[in-house]
Amino acid sequence: MNPRALFSIGLACAAALAAFGGGSAPASAPPVGENPVLPGFKLAALDGRVVDTAAEQRGRPLLIAYWAHWCIPCNQEAPRLRELKRSWGERLLLIGIAASDNQKEAEARAFAKRYALNYPNVFDADGGLAVLYHIEAIPQLLLIAPDGRLLVRTMSVETARQALDERFAPPAPVAAPGDKAGRRRAGRATP
């Protein structure tokens, strides 16, 4: 059976277990809908440090990237995510979540090392985060506002980047009168 079919079966089983009290995801997982407020999580990252989204978000947008090492689009998007984090720096909290379906934690660590991922990644050992965030396919990117509302659900880093730029990019600098360099930075022609 191919990895995607196994992943789908695994998610369905995890959802059923969670619905009947057998999973670790809260029974009150938010429905997929218009701008639901998503709960945070606290887990050990692949590098050993603890990731606590509620404590670390601190007024910044949060981008969650759900991935697996065997997923071809995930492999293609990993360098783009690394570049997105590099360009946004501390203005963005980016956290990767490695799916546990058909993947071992050691394989997830190797993936993070191979792509030199510059943001924390956690391993979704029991599939609870997939259920919590209604992950139905991978890669899956969730852009979450500083207040916890889901803004964008996409499979494309470019779509996530556009949403970040539209909603959270700092405005272009405004030049002071007589500041020729400032006018160039702001996109205006210099006389």
Residue where the block lists tokens 């938010």 = 30
Which pLDDT belongs to residue 106? Answer: 93
pLDDT (mean) for 54-61: 91
pLDDT (mean) for 126-146: 93
d(CA 52, CA 120): 11
Q: 137 or 31: which carries more pLDDT confidence?
A: 137
Which pLDDT belongs to residue 9? Answer: 36
Which pLDDT belongs to residue 3? Answer: 44
d(CA 127, CA 171): 39
Task: Give start and end residues of each alpha helix (H) in 61-146.
Answer: 72-88, 105-114, 128-132
Other CB atoms within a 10 A radius of the CB of residue 53 amount to 20
Q: What is the mean pLDDT of the chain?
A: 79
- If pLDDT is split at 50, 70 and 90, which confidence band does 89 have? very high
- Please report, for residues 15, 86, 175, the alpha-carbon distance to residue 57 in angstroms, rounded to integers and kept in the order given: 27, 17, 31
Which pLDDT belongs to residue 175? Answer: 60
- Please report, for residues 50, 93, 113, the alpha-carbon distance to residue 55 in angstroms, rounded to integers and kept in the order given: 11, 11, 25
In order of their start, the domains of the chain are: 3-10+56-185 (3.40.30.10)
pLDDT (mean) for 178-187: 50
- If pLDDT is split at 50, 70 and 90, which confidence band does 34 have? low
pLDDT (mean) for 43-64: 93
pTM of the model: 0.72
